[in-house]
Structure 1
Amino acid sequence: MKISIVRPRDLGEAEVKRWRDLQLTDPDLSSPFLAPEFTIGVDRYRDDPSGRARGRVRVAVVEDDTGIVAFFPYERGPLGIGHPVGFGLTDLQGIIAAPDLRLDARALLRACGLGVWDFDHLLARQQMFAPFHTVRRVEPVMDLSGGFDAFVEKARQAAPKTHKTIRYKERKLSRDVGEVRYVFSSDDRADLRRLMEWKSDQYTRTGRTDRFAKPWIVRLVQHFHETGFGVLSVLYAGDEPVSSHFGLRNGHVMAGWFPAYDTRFGKYSPGMIGHIHLAQGCAENGITEIAMGRGGKEFKEGFTSREIPIAEGRAARLTPGAGLHWIRTTPLNKARGAVLDNPALYKRADRVLKTYARLRGRSK
């Protein structure tokens, strides 16, 4: 095997086409997070003004006697610490290759100049990384291949109470505020700015890190919106925008990314109403599945048609940087994993974060 390391922006048309062809070898490789547009976009905007992060996004191009057999996108930090591209923003990670590829993970890391590669949403069935899994979970997927009506009927049967509640609140929203309507794809920049403001407010209100406080993420989202790789959807009640969703589209697959809503309308559960309309808009526009991402949202259970096994872990070689990274991150990762896997702990941690956010707001 020959492994070459390149900047994503230096990939030629033939290489990008080969990347897309390899995505077709496994249905789950069709995720927008594994598409070349995502890696090339992060490469373009990830650099910070100081230059500390300059050139950190790379792609390992793997070849054998027949030609290119794999692409491995990654970010390389100090001391050879590696992560998936856009780490912290992605719901699916992995190597873009046919399922039967045989490649040694540590040899790949060596060629990439990595002592360690952390992952938290890895396609679990990629066997080359299987020895490095520490936790396995699933990502829920909404299957729209049978059409919207068939999807809704299955969702209603799976969670009748949830479905009934959503429809009741939608009718109440229409009566109290105005007729509900949905714009599946908005190219209005003002709509995008409003979504980011709502989302920043949510991050602050719940004690989370505000992703939109990072200029490069704002520029990346704007870029995806302008190029059409991102789809911005807006739910209205009369003339009032009440919720929005910004997802990434790769062919027939939508990856849910940034949902947000106006808290003035929170009692109507506008996010859940919007999710139903998003499913309808996707079905009407050639999208057959929506990957909803890992998380503690109970309503996803009623919408889930199938699940993608994902894994968290760390592939590593014996290097000083990898050892230091293990000491610094392992206890935190174990604690976070325990919280995610325990609904009671998750709710308690969520309450603590919200209390912290309120106290922090009062101290300003």
Structure 2
Amino acid sequence: MRVTVVRPGELGEPELARWRELQRATPSLDNPFLSVEFALAIGRLRSYVRVAVIEDGGKVVGFLPFERHAFGIGKPLGTWLTTCHGLISVPDLAIPAREILRACRLSVFDFDHMVAGQPTWEPHESAVRPVPMMNLTGGFDAYIEHVRAGSPKNYKTVRYKERKLAREHGEIRLSWCATDPEVMRTLTGWKSDQYRRTGRVDRFAQPWIVELIDEMHACDTPSFGGVLTMLYAGDTPVAGHFGLRTHNTLVGWFPAYDPEFARYSPGIMHHLHMAEQAASHGLGQVDMGKGGREYKAWLKNDVTHVAEGRVSRPSAAAAVHWIGRAPVNKARDIVVDRPSLYRVYDKVLKGFGRVRTSLQPEPVEKEPSGAR
């Protein structure tokens, strides 16, 4: 086998077509974060993005999009921004991971959302975790009946809150594939506020991420596109989501809601309406991403799996990287595996967010131009 490393923008039309062909042929690769359009977009915005093109007998058999950082530290494409990574290849491609690292000039490669079971990465998997899915292949009615039967109390509560919201604020409706940039700004504003309130890093404080989101929002092809949804009560937006889709799968990415409506559980309400619209537009599943949120447990009716692990080649850089990362990864695994600890972790972060917000100086109002 031969491995060539290029920038995404250097791929020619035959390679782009081959990437799409390989992805479409394997159900486990049906995720927009594995689509070539996503790799091209990040490649235009980040100089460290590369693609390993794998050939066998002169024929392209696989692609690995990745990030190459200083000291040969390798990361999956969009590592902390996305929820799925993988080798886009022919089924059961058997190329040793260290051979790929050597060709890519990488000392170490950490992953935590790798498509589980790929022969290249499977020997290096340290954990395999479920990803909750909303399977809509049987239609929305079949899906919602599963939710109602599995969690009757939760379902009844959400529908009660929906009726109450409608009575007090107006008819409930969902806008699918909203194109207005102001709707996107409303959503990202809520999300930035949520990040600050919960002690997380505000991703939208980075201009390149805002640019990426805007580019994805404008993309709409049969096999890939951005989907912006917004739930309204009357004319008032209360909850929204921006995600990416393939021809069959919508992936959760940035959900948020107006905290003034929190008592109505608008986020869960939005998910149900979004699933209904996804099914009506021919999508077969909604990937909610792995994580400790309890609402995912009763909204799911299917799962897929992603893997965590690490590959390294003998080097000083790999050793230093392991020393720095091992305690963090161990602590994260302990929290993820124990819902009670996750709730404590989430509570602590929210407390930190409240303190951080309270310490921010009040904005100073500027005098109008010409005022004395």
TM-score class, shorter: over 0.9
Any residues of structure 2 matched to 1:43-62 within 5 Å, and which?
43-46=43-46, 55-62=47-54
Q: In structure 2, how many angstroms separate the alpha carbons of the residues matched to 1:9 and 1:284?
A: 35
Over residues 147-205 of structure 1, what are the superposed CA-to-partner deviations in whole Å (9 max), with x where a residue is unaligned?
11111111111111111111111111000111101111100000001111000000000
Aligned mate of 2:318, from 319, 322, 345: 322
2:1 counterpart of 1:4: no
Moved more, 185-194 or 319-328: 319-328
Displacement after TM superposition at 1:63 (Å) = 0.5
Displacement after TM superposition at 1:40 (Å) = 0.8
2:341 counterpart of 1:349: no
Over residues 111-161 of structure 1, what are the superposed CA-to-partner deviations in whole Å (9 max), with x where a residue is unaligned?
011111111101111122112112221111111111111111111111111
Q: In structure 2, how many angstroms separate the alpha carbons of the residues matched to 1:107 and 1:192?
A: 42
Q: In structure 2, how many angstroms separate the alpha carbons of the residues matched to 1:107 and 1:261?
A: 45
Q: Is the 8 A contact 2:92 2:118 kept in 1?
A: no
Any residues of structure 2 matched to 1:51-130 within 5 Å, and which?
55-65=47-57, 67-130=59-122
Question: 2:356 aligns to what?
Answer: 360
| Secondary structure at the counterpart of residue 14 of structure 1 | helix
Question: 1:240 aligns to what?
Answer: 236
Question: 1:50 aligns to what?
Answer: none
2:198 counterpart of 1:206: yes
Q: What amino acid does structure 2 have at the position aligned with 1:310?
A: V
Q: In structure 1, how many angstroms separate the alpha carbons of the residues matched to 2:167 and 2:126?
A: 50
TM-score by length of 1: 0.96
Displacement after TM superposition at 1:66 (Å) = 5.3
Question: 2:274 aligns to what?
Answer: 278
| Secondary structure at the counterpart of residue 348 of structure 2 | helix
Aligned mate of 2:302, from 299, 302, 306: 306
Aligned mate of 2:253, from 230, 251, 257: 257
Question: 2:291 aligns to what?
Answer: 295
Q: In structure 1, how many angstroms separate the alpha carbons of the residues matched to 2:117 and 2:150?
A: 27
| Secondary structure at the counterpart of residue 99 of structure 2 | helix
Structure 1: runs of 5+ lacking an equivalent: 47-54
Q: In structure 2, how many angstroms separate the alpha carbons of the residues matched to 1:192 and 1:4?
A: 38
Q: What amino acid does structure 2 have at the position aligned with 1:300?
A: K
Displacement after TM superposition at 1:98 (Å) = 2.2
Q: In structure 2, how many angstroms separate the alpha carbons of the residues matched to 1:24 and 1:191?
A: 31
Q: In structure 2, how many angstroms separate the alpha carbons of the residues matched to 1:12 and 1:303?
A: 41
| Secondary structure at the counterpart of residue 125 of structure 1 | coil
Q: What amino acid does structure 2 have at the position aligned with 1:105?
A: A
| Secondary structure at the counterpart of residue 217 of structure 1 | helix
Question: 1:49 aligns to what?
Answer: none
Q: In structure 1, how many angstroms separate the alpha carbons of the residues matched to 2:120 and 2:305?
A: 15
Question: 2:218 aligns to what?
Answer: 226
Displacement after TM superposition at 1:25 (Å) = 3.0
Q: In structure 2, how many angstroms separate the alpha carbons of the residues matched to 1:227 and 1:352?
A: 38
Q: In structure 1, how many angstroms separate the alpha carbons of the residues matched to 2:175 and 2:104?
A: 43
Question: 2:35 aligns to what?
Answer: 35
Over residues 331-358 of structure 1, what are the superposed CA-to-partner deviations in whole Å (9 max), with x where a residue is unaligned?
0111111111111111111111111111
Question: 1:165 aligns to what?
Answer: 157
Q: In structure 1, how many angstroms separate the alpha carbons of the residues matched to 2:57 and 2:157?
A: 58
Q: What amino acid does structure 2 have at the position aligned with 1:40?
A: L
| Secondary structure at the counterpart of residue 145 of structure 1 | coil
Question: 2:16 aligns to what?
Answer: 16
TM-score by length of 2: 0.94
Q: Is the 8 A contact 1:122 1:310 kept in 2?
A: yes
Deviation >6 Å, runs of 4+: none
Q: Is the 8 A contact 1:162 1:299 kept in 2?
A: no
Q: In structure 1, how many angstroms separate the alpha carbons of the residues matched to 2:80 and 2:93?
A: 27
| Secondary structure at the counterpart of residue 227 of structure 1 | coil
Count of paired positions: 356
| Secondary structure at the counterpart of residue 92 of structure 1 | coil
Q: In structure 2, how many angstroms separate the alpha carbons of the residues matched to 1:99 and 1:307?
A: 21
Q: What amino acid does structure 2 have at the position aligned with 1:27?
A: P
Q: In structure 1, how many angstroms separate the alpha carbons of the residues matched to 2:337 and 2:214?
A: 34
Q: In structure 2, how many angstroms separate the alpha carbons of the residues matched to 1:173 and 1:34?
A: 38
| Secondary structure at the counterpart of residue 155 of structure 1 | helix
Q: CA RMSD in A?
A: 1.0
